Structure 1
Amino acid sequence: MRVVVSTYGARGSVEPMVGLAARLRALGAEVRVCAPPDEEFAELLAGVGVPLVPTGQPVRPMVSSVTPGSAVGLAQRAAELMAAQFETVAAAAEGCDALVAGGPLPVTTGARSVAEKLGMRYVHVSHTPVVLPSPYRRPPGRRGQPLPADVTDNEALWDLDAEIANAMFGELLNTRRASAGLPPVDNVRDYAFTDRPWLATDPTLDPRQPADLDVVQTGAWIRTDERPLPAELVAFLEDGEAPVYVGFGSMPMGSLKDVARVAVEASRARGRRVIVSRGWADVAPIDDKDDCFVVGEVNHQALFRRVAAVVHHGSAGTTTTAARAGAPQVVVPQGADQPYWAGRVADLGIGAAHDGPAPTFASLSAALGTALAAETRARATAVASTIRTDGATVAARLLLDEVG
C-alpha cells in the first residue's frame, strides 16, 4: 500500500505527520510526506526513513517575517499553497492508495481535490479540536476576518465562518478545480474537513463532546524520540535540583524575549535553576549566570521527565509531551489554539494557565507557585499514566484497514 501525507506549517503541523509516517512504514506501507522544505523537517523525516517531498516555501523565514494575526500577503500565500497541492502533491500522489492531509484550508481543500481527481481515499486530520465546528465553542476566527463579538450563538458563528472561508478561498479553489476537470465546491471548509475528520489528540487532554461531525479521535500522533540528551545538559541536570524549562517552540520573536526574561526571573525567585530553549525566536539567556542552561533541538520526551515544571506557549505537541512526562506546566498562550490547551491544563490540575500572552514577574511567579506545588506534581504524575502513546499506531492501522 502507498500513502502520501500532505501538511504545511511549523513544527506542530509537521511533527505529528512524521509520527504517522513512521508507523505506516513500520506496518509495511510505502509512504512519502509532502511538507515545507525547511532543513529540520527533512532531518525529522530522514530519521524515520521517510522521504520528504518539498512543498511550498520554507516556513521558518515566513514565521519570522509575518506579523501575528496580520492578513497582509495572505492571498498570495494561499494561492501558492493551493498550487503546490494541485502540482507537487498531485505528482507525488500518482499511484498511491490514500492521501492524508492537515493544515490550513488552501492545503486541505487542494489535497482533497487531488484525491478526488485521482480516485483515492482522502483523510482530513486536525491536531487541535478548536478548528472543527462545534456547538460548544466559538470558531477561532480567520486572519483579517474577525467574528462579531456581540454574537453568542456558536452555531450561527460557525455558519458565518463557513461563509468567510468561501469568500477567502472559494474562487481560488474552484478555478483550480475547473482546470483539473472537477466540479465547483460550494462549501470550502466542510469539503476539506469531510463529515468524518480524524482528530489526533489525546482523549484525556481533549475529551470529545457530541457534535454533528463524526469525528474519529485516534490519540495524539507521537513520534518516539530515543535520542540521548547532550552530555553537558545531563551534567547540568545532575548538578542540583530539577530546573524549570522555558521554551516557546516555533513561535516568532514578538514579545517572547520579555516573556522568557520574566520566566527566568520568576524561576530564580523561587529558588529554581532554568533551562531555556532557543526555539525559532532564538531566545537568549538574560545574563551569564551558571544557573541557566541554553538548549537548541533536544529530546523533550526525555528532558521533560527531569524538570520541575515546563513553561511554554501551549501548543498541542508541547502540552501533550509535558503531560505524558508528568511535568507540571505553566502555559502562557500566545494565540491560535493555545488558550484552549492552557485551559485544559488548568482544568486537569496539572499546571497553571496564565491569563494573557504577556506575563509580569508577579503573575508568572504566581503561576509557577501553582505548578511547583506538591499537589500539582502529584496530579501531573497521575494524569501522565492516562496519556495514550499509541495514537499514531491506531491511525496507521485504521488507514491500512480502510484502504487495504
Structure 2
Amino acid sequence: MRILLSTWGSRGDVEPLAGLATALQELGAEALVAAPPDEEFATLLARAGVPHVPLGPTVHSIVAGPKPPTGKDAFRLAPELVAARFTTLMPVAEECDAVLATGLMPAGVRDVAEKVGIPYVLACFHTLGLPSQHFPPGRRPGTPSPEGETDNRVLWKQDAERVNDLYGPALNSHREALGLPPVDNVRDHVFTDHPWLAADATLWPSQGKTDLELIQTGAWILPDKRPLPNELEAFLDSGAPPVYVGFGSMAAYAPEGIADVAVKVSRAQGRSLVLARGWADLAPPDDADDCFVVGDVNQQALFGRCAAVVHHGGAGTTTTAARAGVPQVVVPRIADQPSWARRVAELGIGAAHLEPTPTVDSLSEALQTALTPETQGRASVLAGAVRADGATVAAQLLLDAAAQGKAPISG
C-alpha cells in the first residue's frame, strides 16, 4: 500500500502528518507527505524518515512579513494552491492507493483522487471550521455577512459562498480540463459528509460539535526522540523548573513586546525562562543568565521539565503540554486558538489569557493561576487521559479504506 498525505499550512499542519506517515510505515505501508517547501518542514520530514513532496509556495513567504496577510493576499493564494495541488499531486496520486488532505482548505485534492480513482479523506484538528447549528463560522476573506444576522444556518451558507468565491473558479477550471463536472459547493465537496477529527477526545470532544458525521481518531503525534542540547540540559539542571514561552509559527501575529513582558513576569515569580525564538524571532531584553533561548527542540522532552508553558494555543502545542502534565497559559492569536485557550481553562489545567496584548500584570495573574498546586495537580492527572495512539488508529483506517477502495463512513 502507498498512501499520499497532503497539507499546506504551518508546522501544526505538517507535523501531525509526519506522525501519521510514521504510523503507516510501522504498519508496513509506504507513505509520503506533500507539504510546503519550507526548509523547516523538509528537515522535520527527513528526521521522521518520510518522503517529502514540495507543494505550493513556502508558508514563511506568506505569513512572516511585518503585517499579517490581507484578504487580497488570500485571493491571490487560493488559486495558486489549487493549481499546485492539481499539478503536483496528480502524478504522485497515480501511484497511490488513497489520499488524505488537511491544512488550509485543500481544494483540489479530492478532485485529484476522483480523477485517479482512489479513496479520499479530509481530516481536521478541531471542529470550528465544520458547519454547525451550534456556533457561527469563523472569519474568512470575502463579502462579510450582514450585521445582525444570527441564524447559524444562514451564516454557514454565506461561509460556503465565500469559499466558492476564493476557490471555485480555479477548482472548476481544473476539473473541466480533466473532464470532471463542476462543483457548486467547494467547501462541502472538500469536507465530505464524514471528515476525520485528529484531536484527543479529552481535550476536544466531538459530540454535538458539527452537523457532519465525524470520525475521531485521536491526535496524530510524531514521537520525538531527540536529546535536549547539552547547554539546555545544564540550564534546566541549574535551578527550579523554568517557565517556557513560545509562539511557534506566529510571526506577525506574536504579541508585541511579549519577550520583554515574559522575562519580567518570570523574574517576578522567581523563575528562569526558556524562550523559543520561533518565526517571530523572539529575543530577551538582556543577556542575563536566567533566560535561555531555543530554536527547534524536543518539546516532548522539554515541557515536562518546565513549571508552566506559555504559548499561542495551537492544537499541537496544547496537546504536547497536556501530555507532559504541565500547566499552560494560552495567549491565543487567531483561528482555533481562543477555543483551545478556553478549553484549557475549562479543564482546569491552565489559564486563558484572551486579551490580545499581555501586560506584566495580566500575564502575572495568568501565570499565578497556572502555578497553583491545584492547577498543577489537575494537569498531572489529565496527562494520563490523553491518548497517544491516534496516528495508529488513523493509519489502520486509511489502510482499510485503500484495501476496500472507498473512504470509511463510520468509526
User: Which band: TM-score by shorter chain?
Assistant: over 0.9
Aligned partners of 1:96 and 1:397: how far apart in 2? 16
Question: In the TM superposition, what are the counterparts of 1:192-207 in structure 2 within 5 Å?
Answer: 192-207=190-205
Gaps of 5+ in 1: none
Deviations 1:142-185 (A, max 9, x none): 03444445222222211211122112221221111101110000
Give 1:346 deviation, angstroms.
0.4
Deviation per CA, 1:289-338: give whole Å up to 9, x if none. 11111000000000000100000000001000000100100000111110
Instruction: Indicate yes or no: 2:387 matched with 1:388.
Output: yes
Q: Assess if the C-alpha contact under 8 Å between 2:67 and 2:252 holds in 1.
A: no
Using the aligned pairs only, state the percent identity.
58
Q: Partner amino acid for 1:30?
A: E
Match of 1:264 in 2: 263
C-alpha contact (below 8 Å) 1:255/1:358 kept by paired residues: no
State the TM-score, normalizing by the size of structure 1: 0.97
2:173 to 154, 172, 175: 175
Q: How does 1:97-116 map to 2 (within 5 A)?
A: 97-105=97-105, 108-116=106-114
Residues 235-284 of structure 1 show CA distances to partners (whole Å, capped at 9, x for unaligned) of 10110000000000000144535122212211111111100000011101
TM-score by length of 2: 0.95
Quick one: structure 1 residues 222 and 145, their matched pair in 2 at CA, closer, same or farther if it must change by over 3 Å? farther
1:322: which partner in 2?
321
Letter in 2 for 1:265: K
| Offset at residue 128 of structure 1 (A) | 1.9
Q: Residues 204-253 of structure 1, C-alpha deviation per residue, up to 9 Å, x if partnerless?
A: 11011224311001001000001111111011011000000000000014
The CA distance in 2 between the partners of 1:326 and 1:275, in whole Å, is 17
Asked whether the equivalents of residues 6 and 101 of structure 1 are also in contact (C-alpha less than 8 Å), the reply is yes
Do 2:349 and 2:378's aligned partners in 1 also have CA atoms closer than 8 Å?
yes
AA aligned to 2:52 is L
Q: Distance in 2 between matches of 1:216 and 1:352?
A: 29
Q: CA deviation at 1:360?
A: 1.1
Q: Tell me the residue number matched to 1:186.
A: 184
Tell me the secondary structure at the aligned position of residue 128 of structure 2. Answer: helix
Contact persistence 1:141–1:147 (CA under 8 A): no
Q: What does residue 406 of structure 2 align with?
A: none
Task: Report the equivalent of 2:43.
Answer: 43
Deviation (angstroms), 1:23: 0.6
Q: What residue is the counterpart of 1:14 in the other structure?
A: 14
Residue matched to 1:123: 121
- Verify: 1:85 aligned to 2:99, yes or no: no
Amino acid at match of 1:184: P
Report the Cα distance in structure 2 between the residues aligned to 1:243 and 1:402, rounded to whole angstroms.
46
Alignment of 1:2-401 (within 5 A): 2-65=2-65, 67-68=67-68, 70-105=70-105, 108-210=106-208, 211-401=210-400
8 A contact 1:257–1:283 mirrored in 2: no
Q: Counterpart of 2:409?
A: none
Report which stretch shifted further, 341-350 or 62-71: 62-71
Displacement, 1:92? 1.2
Separation of aligned partners in 2, 1:292 and 1:15? 27
Instruction: Compare 141-150 and 272-281 and name the one that shifted more.
Output: 141-150
Q: CA deviation at 1:32?
A: 1.2
Question: How many residues end up aligned between the 2 structures?
Answer: 402
The runs of 5 or more residues in structure 2 that have no matched partner are: 404-411
Q: Aligned to 1:207, what secondary structure does the other structure show?
A: coil
Q: 2:149, 2:155 within 8 Å by CA — same for their partners in 1?
A: yes
Asked whether the 8 Å contact 1:253–1:282 carries over to 2, the reply is no
Give the CA deviation at 1:402: 2.2
C-alpha distance in structure 2 between counterparts of 1:6 and 1:66, whole Å: 28
Partner of 2:408: none
Q: Check whether the contact 1:21–1:32 (CA below 8 A) recurs between aligned residues.
A: yes
**Structure-2 separation of matches of 1:155 and 1:209:** 19
The 2-side partners of 1:255 and 1:28 are apart by 41
Q: Partner of 2:72: helix, strand, or coil?
A: coil
Q: Deviations over 1:55-75 (max 9, x none)?
A: 111111221127326212222
The more displaced of 67-76 and 353-362 is: 67-76
